[in-house]
Structure 1
Amino acid sequence: MNKKSNHDDAAHVAPHIGKKEYKETLHALQIELVKLQRHFIKCNDRILVILEGRDGAGKDGTIKRIIQHLSPRETRVVALGRPSDRDRGTWYFQRYVPHLPACQEFVLFNRSWYNRAGVERVMGFCSEADYDEFMETVPDFEHMLVRSGIKLFKYYLDISQAEQKKRLQDRRKDPLKQWKMSPIDAEALKHWAGYSQARNEMFARTHTLSAPWTVVRADNKEVARINLIKDLLMRLHYDGKDRDLVLPNPEVVFAYDEAHLTSGMLAK
């Protein structure tokens, strides 16, 4: 059993990038992001990026680098807390709708409505009926968003069990990261297999033509950040794009495919 787990973790290792190359590449990509923002403001575009992944997958750090040099007036990060009693008595998507992007806005969801497919499912925070209704209706909801003109991108940051354990331990030791700690963190490793199954079901039922999932292998934070930004820039049109710069590594960022469940491209 341990031998299989070690093999899976080894298959999940991402390429390395040196500090100097990382800083230089990130700076160049942030210039491209500013070009992109200038373009979508001019064209009245609406961009929505969803970042999902296990606790410790690197969502916060990735978002921080994306928005670092963007105009705060047209850039928003949405990270909703637990639903209120009123939220629980409304249509599930209702609390998310007010945060969708208007014209000229770039919105990033640090976790999203997919909480229902992940933590709520695994931790028993929703009923089976609520879960089934969500899984059946979310493709239609996202299709409506895309048909309305929103450019929707769904990224899942995937890390190995060993890397998650290391990052959660580091959080507990770092006084500057105490705000990231939550009771759910303590349960994350205990429920590793449950989260894997929930992830696989989420991919299988919500990976659609209009709103596909893109997987980012995130054991190396710097490599993951660089390649996610490259992928986003590559898929959006804007003037003055440096096409050679924005080509992502297909071993790090790739469209979800059922074959990845057994190929070692996803953490077991």
Structure 2
Amino acid sequence: MSIYGKEERTVSIFRAIRKVYQFFADRPFKKGTVLNGHYEILRVIGAGSYGIVYQCQDLIANEIRVVKQLRPSKRRSKKEVALFRNEISVLRTLDHKNIPKLVETISTDGHLFYVMDFLKGDNLEEQIFLGKKTFIEVESLLVLGHLLELLEYLHKQHIYHQDLRIPNILISNKELFLIDFGLAKSSSHDRQENILEMKQQDYYDLGEILLYLLYTTYPSKSKKALPWTEELSLEKETVYLLKRLLQLEEPYITTSEISKDLHAALQANKRREED
């Protein structure tokens, strides 16, 4: 066996050991466990790369809460702990009815948690894949409009989400909620070019979400993969909006620019419906 083969085998062994360790270390707390004396775990509602999320009953306030725990296997990683604390710091600065509010932080027996208000809604990804929900062009544009309003609020607070994806969107009675600020960045003193880069990353993510929603009504019949510009039948204003969001044409610099083109796309759809 060559030296490269031995190195690869060693790396594979270490990875296997790490996975076994994570399997045992990251077992969620059981239903009925009471955290910090008054948060009774009802169920696990999510698990990401560095966090475990529980739905809990606040036994003192008699409210449903969401408690996020840093995975025990990550507690010795300065990078992971810093990400967790950054998410807490970001949530502490936000006050919007469509974004979870931070209630408190908990540090006990080496475990790190933070508590948020519970936002009632269905995960957009699950609605699409499990509920088979579809969005026609105008509905997709309206979703974009709601997200743009939330994004504008964040950017005014010098917060950049950096992880806008359909799993991080909840929807209830046509109202949208934005969650998971694990990769968010706060930058009130950063250089302008860095701020623009973070803004445009959020705008790009909006474009991907819009494209994803538009594809929910696409009947895939062709075995040949074609560009979305050929597969989707869209108003030219929507195409222009998408191209700029996805940076295929001149990228957007402000949310007001996006809002203007979004309005144009909505008006084009309205005219089509009236014809």
User: Which one has the bigger helix percentage?
Assistant: 1
User: Which one has the bigger strand percentage?
Assistant: 2
Common fold: TM-score over 0.5:
no
TM-score, structure 1 as length reference: 0.24
TM-score, structure 2 as length reference: 0.24
